[in-house]
Structure 1
Amino acid sequence: MTRQEATVALGAFGACLISVFMQMIDVTIVNTALPVVTTELGASRSQQLWVVAGYSLAFACVLLVAARIGATAGRRRTFLWSAAAFTAASVWCGLSTGAMELVIARIVQGVAGAGMAAQTIAIITATFRREHHQYAFAVYGAVAGFAGMLGPILGGALITVDPFGLGWHAIFLMNLPLGVVAIALAWKFLRMGAAPEREPLDLRGTVVATGALFLLLFALSDSQQAGWRPVHAGYLVIALVLGAVFVAHERAARRAGGRALVRLDLFSDKAFAVGSTLVGIFFGVFTAFVFTVSILLQDVLHFSALRTGIAMTPFAVGAGVGAVGSPILVNRWGIRALSAGIALFAVCVAIGIAYLHITDGTVNLPLVMGPTFLAGFGVGVFGIPLQPLMLANLDEHSLGEASGLLPTIEQIGNSVGLATLSAVFFQSHTLTGSTTMLTAITAAALLLSALTLTLPNHTPTATTPWTFSTP
């Protein structure tokens, strides 16, 4: 790679890193600030939950379509428009004066975020030579994971410091300078044009897929604030029927020689099929854990936003260390490293449950720093290599096809995790409710550890892409 090629690649890569940083941090930073936002805007319980769920719902429903639009209209054009829309929507969120206005702005932000997220895997794959994918995706994954962990910490700091008197508005307005830099980098260095032959978007498949995803995720999200009702079961049944119709339609489209919205043949690869299951479960477990700990510390143990951020700092640091060390561990022990990593997380959560029982909810932060760090370390070791291993057998074209599918699977996992959290914990903000949810998370993590051993044991090489897509 010449110096000019390296400059172009790094510039485009920088745009991708900033975009994934904004997307990931925007999911978790809201968790810490949500109590303050709710109070200042007078948000109802439903509006409070939709500030979070509206973003995730819009994000998930648009991903598949955004990936196809990027493939036909051009990754560069789609990324630039999406980045501009995300930045503008972030400013709108930061300037919102009412709860419903904030919910609508968050939905727009989710749509734009999906437009960016659906392009990044394909952009990095095309920007770097195959022998450099391992390093590019390792950095990309570390930034994504770190941003997700940094969210609660930064949210607590911004609420406490209150820069320029902005209060909670700062958690959204911080995206303005970041978005401007991402747009500038992409405008100058991103050089992916439109496809030579533009194939029409599969409108029928798009409508069916979007309807199925919306009903599925809406049922899971709405049950969080309304409790589980028969109507939610009806939504799920309709979503499953639409899902079956979508699969049949996609198979028929492929047999007829058309361009399907989703390449279902990707699941014929065992690594991709097993990995998709693991990704969905992992994101559900991780989302439930972050929300449970955030609500436990603030609502049950009455920690301030800043102290909540401080309490989660060892977890974020541990995750960063685990992410950096994961390639070395996987090179030596293969998938057993991933299995051990998520098992370590489960053991540390179990230790935390025992500690809460013994102390009756009194937490000594210096005393729990060790287990908290190790829990984050285990998540980093598991989360970073998982998707590269499941993508190891795919060619560059297939990686582009997976660019919208993988984040969709992650978002479904997120929503399932939140729905479970709602059923077990949201209705009872007590210490008992906290430990019950953490016990369920421990059991799910141990199950994940066992299932990981069924993943084909590829040893990463210079041709293996290391990636971590956005939830």
Structure 2
Amino acid sequence: MTEVGTRASAESAEGERAAWLAFTGCLLAVFMQMIDVTIVNTALPNLTADLGASRSAQLLVISGYSLAFACTLLTAAGLGELVGRRTMFLASVTAFTAASVWCGISTGATELVVARVAQGMAGAGMAAQTIAILTASFPRGRHQQVFALYGATAGFAGMLGPILGGALITADIGGFGWHSVFLINLPLGIVAFALAFRYLHLGKPSERERLDLVGAVLSTVSLFALLGALADLQQNGWRPGPFATIAGALGLAAVFLGHQRLLTRRGRAPLVRLDLFADRGFRVGAILVTMFFGLFTAFVFAISITLQDELHFSPLRTGLAMTPFALGAGAGALASPWLVRRWGVRVLAAGIAAYGGCIALGAGYLQLTGGVVDLATAVGPVFISGLGVGLFGVQLQPLMLAGLDQRRMDAASGLLPTIEQIGNGVGLAVLSTIFFRAHTLGGSVTMLSAIAVVAIGMGVLTLALPDLPAQP
């Protein structure tokens, strides 16, 4: 009996070790796909000069990745269910790494845009499998910890992108210049693939009907039209054309939802399981995720405008001003799982409300001082605002998914990042079209005040989330 027990214990320990190593591969994939959203911004002036990129090509280098990523998530999730999450993840990591190398060796602006689109599609292939892989690889008791690391990695990568991009271009290792911001994914992709190939072991995919091609086309076209129109509003302001496109996109989305309901009634597998929204946690969480990603994207945009355009901070001083925010977000991410186990959703509500309160305080401070900022005075509120974001953002997904069984978790794997991308597009477009063109201190104060009001409202809505079930 002792020998059997020892062998079982050793096998259990080996299985847990394999799960964590496979998870490391997934985190590397998350890191790559998120850092490539922001790292290219720093390299844009250099690659523009080198490739002779036009203004439209510059925009497509940035937006092509995000659009391709967002518009193919649902289809990538469906393919993952069809061929297997492991197979789809490994193929996507390979494609993403290859597309990154293609970006890094591009010799023309058009070629780089095409490579970025390919990179975005491959990134969606990775992202659409991640939640299903994480929830299948770990017992529910580990989900809080796993999602905390997942959320912290994604957030850290997004913030690190511009810093790492600037460091790589300044160092100019091997004379690669701007090419290095893409080529850095080659070693990361190789390690991610090796870890997943060796340690990611999932059961065979359940039997599933062929991919819902009609749904894939409808979802892709409607998302492309919606996010493309929002990006147009962000760049060019209020015009009738984008609003007509948005109306058409919403009409296509309604047709898509009707098609999904029809497939469900006929007993066939839809691309999106609408019964996910019957769960209160997922329903409320979907609203909060959309608002949070829109809010945070708008916040980063607003702070950049305020500090550099209105207060004339240098990039270095801007980085120093936001360092306490990053430190606070890291502290909140680490503390959030323990605090949520103790006090439940009230921790998230307090966190996002504290963030909103600090942003309101900052708006009032700017108004009173006429834009004169003492960084030493601002350290405390900036740190607390970051702490609130960390407390809220890391535990939102576990609370949102807590009431779902494994089958519905799989269905949420592509839908959740799609919701996040819609939030990003809506938040940035609304902020930029309504406030950005004011380019005054008063406009910045208004932007920050609006963000604060939305954040505090989110704190109230958060209380409608169910608490995580008690762990045995």
TM (normalized to structure 1)?
Answer: 0.91
Bigger Cα displacement from structure 2, 354-363 vs 260-269: 354-363
1:5 aligned residue: 15
Q: Which of 62, 74, 80 is residue 70 of structure 1 equivalent to?
A: 80
After superposition, residues 307-346 of structure 1 pair within 5 angstroms as 307-346=317-356
Partner of residue 228, structure 1? 238
More relative contact order, 1 or 2 (CA 8 Å, 6+ apart): 1
Determine if the alignment matches structure 1 residue 279 to structure 2 residue 289.
yes
Give the percent of matched residue pairs that are identical in Structure 1 and Structure 2. Answer: 62
1:400 is matched by which residue type in structure 2? D
- Output the aligned Cα RMSD: 2.3
Q: What is the alpha-carbon distance in structure 1 between the residues aligned to residue 290 and residue 21 of structure 2?
A: 31
Given the alignment, which residue of 69, 72, 75 partners 1:59? 69
Q: Work out the CA distance in 2 between the residues paired with 1:242 and 1:182.
A: 37
The answer on whether the counterparts of 2:147 and 2:395 sit within 8 Å (CA) in structure 1 is no
Contact persistence 1:94–1:170 (CA under 8 A):
yes
CA offset digits 1:230-257 (Å, max 9, x no partner) = 1212111211211111111111111111
Alignment of 1:129-140 (within 5 A): 129-140=139-150
Aligned equivalent of 1:467:
none
Select the residue among 408, 411, 428 that pairs with 1:418. Answer: 428
User: Does structure 2 conserve the Cα–Cα contact (< 8 Å) formed by 1:146 and 1:319?
Assistant: no
Report the Cα distance in structure 1 between the residues aligned to 2:457 and 2:129, rounded to whole angstroms: 32
Distance 1:374 1:242 in 2: 42
Residue 394, structure 1, aligned to residue 404, structure 2: yes
CA contact (8 A) 1:221 1:419 kept: yes
Task: Report the secondary structure of 1:455's partner residue.
Answer: coil
Q: Which residue identity lines up with residue 222 of structure 2 in the other structure?
A: A
2:211 partner SS: coil
- Verify the 8 A CA contact 2:288 2:462 in the aligned structure 1: yes
Change (3 A) 1:67 1:3: same
Matched residue SS, 2:450 = helix
Counterpart of 1:187 (choices 165, 174, 197) is 197
Distance 1:84 1:38 in 2: 27
Aligned AA (1:328): W
Quote the Cα distance in structure 2 between the aligned partners of 1:286 and 1:319. Answer: 12
In 1, distance between residues paired with 2:182 and 2:278? 41
The residue aligned with 2:5 is none
CA spacing shift, 1:99–1:137, aligned 2, 3 Å: same
Distance 1:196 1:444, change over 3 A: closer
Q: TM-score, normalised by structure 2?
A: 0.91
Rounded Cα–Cα distance in structure 2 between residues aligned with 1:236 and 1:383 = 28
* Aligned-partner SS, 1:4: helix
CA contact (8 A) 1:134 1:462 kept: no
One-letter identity of the residue aligned with 1:82: S
Is contact 1:389-1:460 (8 Å) kept?
A: no
CA distance in 2, matches of 1:340, 1:73: 42
- Alignment CA distance shift 1:425-1:42 (3 Å): farther
CA change 1:449–1:130 in 2 (3 A) is closer
In structure 2, the residue matched to 1:148 is: 158
8 A contact 2:77–2:125 mirrored in 1: yes
Q: What's the offset of the Cα at 1:200?
A: 0.2
Aligned equivalent of 2:306: 296
Write the mapping of 1:363-402 to structure 2, written as runs, cut at 5 A: 363-402=373-412
Deviates more, 1:359-368 or 1:8-17: 359-368
**Deviation string for 1:8-28 (max 9, x for gaps)?**
212211111111111222223
CA spacing shift, 1:311–1:44, aligned 2, 3 Å = farther
**Partner residue of 1:347?**
357
Which residue does 1:115 correspond to in 2? 125
Alignment partner for residue 416 of structure 2, among 382, 392, 406?
Answer: 406
1:162 and 1:362 map into 2 onto residues whose CA distance is 36
State whether residues 216 and 271 of structure 2, in contact with CA within 8 Å, keep that contact through their aligned partners in structure 1. yes
Report Cα offsets for 1:253-296 as digits up to 9, x if no partner.
11111111100011011111111001001100001111222343
Q: Do the aligned partners of residues 107 and 294 (structure 1) sit closer, same or farther apart at CA in structure 2, a change above 3 Å counting?
A: farther
Is the contact between residue 283 and residue 413 of structure 1 (CA under 8 Å) also seen in structure 2? yes
Q: Which moved more, 1:232-241 or 1:136-145?
A: 136-145
Closer, same or farther in 2 for the Cα pair 1:365/1:169, shift >3 Å? farther
**Residue 231 (structure 2) pairs with residue 217 (structure 1):** no
* Residues 438 and 171 of structure 1, relative CA distance in 2, 3 Å threshold: farther
Among 241, 246, 261, the residue aligned to 1:251: 261
Cα gap change, 1:434 to 1:154, in 2 (>3 Å): farther
Work out the CA distance in 2 between the residues paired with 1:299 and 1:101: 32
Look up the SS of the partner of 2:272 in the other structure.
coil
Tell me, in whole angstroms, the C-alpha distance in 1 between the residues paired with 2:359 and 2:169. Answer: 27
Structure 1: stretches of 5+ with no match in the other structure: 464-471
* Compared CA separation, residues 171 and 309, structure 1 to 2 (3 A): farther
Does structure 1 residue 19 correspond to structure 2 residue 29? yes
Q: Which moved more, 1:202-211 or 1:353-362?
A: 353-362
**In structure 1, how many angstroms separate the alpha carbons of the residues matched to 2:437 and 2:345?**
38
